[in-house]
Amino acid sequence: MKEVTCYKCDHCNKVVQTKAYMKKHEAKCFFNSKTRSCITCAHFKQDIYEPQGKVRWCNKSIDLTGGLNSNCPRHLNIEALTASENF
């Protein structure tokens, strides 16, 4: 048996075996608010219906038909919003 070293993303549950690959992943991870992606945006909404599956949309009318966006000009960081509501 061999012991191996793994690297886990600071933003999601992804685990890989090389540090360089993880650095690349974290730079574009949808769960990293620095990528300004839908997952961390207050304007992103989704509902889950059976049997159709997920229905996703943007409250700022950004087109999501091609999948989730990154580097969105209308991104509103949901973490910053939640933090400000505590005051």
Q: Which residues bind Zn ion (CB under 5 A)?
A: 9, 11-12, 14, 29
Nearest approach in angstroms of CB 13 to Zn ion is 8
**3-state secondary structure string across the chain:** CCCCCCEECCCCCCEECCHHHHHHHHHHCCCCHHHCCHHHECCEEEEEECCCEEEEEECCCCCCCCCCCCCCCCCCEHHHHHHHCCC
Q: Which CB sits closer to Zn ion, 17 or 59? A: 17
Nearest approach in angstroms of CB 69 to Zn ion is 16
Nearest approach in angstroms of CB 30 to Zn ion is 7
